[in-house]
Amino acid sequence: MALTRLGPNQSVNLATNTTGNLNLASQVTGTLATGNGGTGATSFTAGKVLQVVTGTITNDNFVTSSTPATLLTVNITPSATTSKVFVTCAVQYNNYGNGSTSYPNGKCQILDQDDNVLVRGYGNFAGNVSTDQTDQFDSTIVLNNLDSPSSTSQQSYKLQYYAGAGRFGILGASTRLNGTIMTLMEIAA
Amino acid sequence: MTDFDKMTVSIEKLQANSEYTLEYDGGNVDEALFNSINWVSSNSLTWTAVKAEMDKL
């Protein structure tokens, strides 16, 4: 078998100039630099993102009820029971006096597979100055939670919203196009 | 005040403390939109009555 010894700065194209199998289980050392298409890392530790799932609100939705209503459900199936699920949701919302209150407010919340509330946000507008109680206020709520479902079964995360007073809206259309989005990330233990 | 705002304010005026959810795509505020309201509390309003109230605003 002919052997060629490579000197410094010499290379061989493994894509075309090799036959048989190349055993990379041993005798391989060093780091492939990022400039050469590598990661620059010699090893990996826990905390990698294994998968990402998103769900988006594409319409404007409004509620005057104090009963929570589900707007969005996003599913993810963890690959290991030790994985964590990072849940993040940016919610663009609208408070409106609706002719009934100077203090419109509403809440949104994320529920886990078992309908436990993981995190809740509160949108309050206590600055309604018009006499007919029809002022508007828009802003954004960000909900975050690191969940540990301890399961490899599909997990459903729900975004709910409800009003405290006046009209509460969660928005995703037109000038807030795709403006409300939930993202699930499976994080390796 | 937009037509959409007028509709929800009119509902509040005619039937105070109404509880409902409503999805709106920014289109026409008409009978079809009114009929799409998911009522949580009981409703006895009609589109005709709501539209008449809207026209006063």
Q: Given CB atoms, is A135 within the 8 Å cutoff of chain B?
A: no
Check A65 against B20: CB less than 8 A apart.
yes
Assign residue A95 the CATH number of its domain: 2.60.120.760
pLDDT of residue A33: 79
Q: Which residues pair with A117 in a beta bridge?
A: A111
List B residues 27-56 in contact with A (Cβ-Cβ < 8 A).
Answer: 38, 40-41
pLDDT of residue A158: 98
Contact yes or no for A155/A149 (Cβ under 8 A): yes
Q: Chain B residue with minimal CA distance to A162? A: B21
Integer angstrom CA distances of residue A150 from A38, A48, A74, A86, A185: 33, 17, 18, 13, 15
Is A62 part of a structural domain of the chain?
Answer: yes
**Whole-model pTM?**
0.79
Q: How many domains is chain A partitioned into structurally? A: 1
pLDDT of residue A101: 92
Q: How many domains is chain B partitioned into structurally? A: 1
Check A62 against B22: CB less than 8 A apart.
yes
Using one digit for the tens of pLDDT, what is the confidence trace for B4-54? 999 999 999 999 999 999 999 889 999 999 999 999 999 999 999 999 999
Question: 3-state secondary structure string, B1-18?
Answer: CCHHHHHHHHHHHHCCCC
Check B21 against A62: CB less than 8 A apart.
yes
User: Which residue numbers in chain A have pLDDT < 50?
Assistant: none
Is A153 part of a structural domain of the chain?
Answer: yes
Is A10 part of a structural domain of the chain?
Answer: no
What residues make up the domain containing B9?
3-54
pLDDT of residue A162: 97
pLDDT of residue A174: 84
What residues make up the domain containing A118?
49-187
pLDDT of residue A140: 97
Is A21 part of a structural domain of the chain?
Answer: no
Residues of A in contact with B24 (CB under 8 A): 59-62, 173
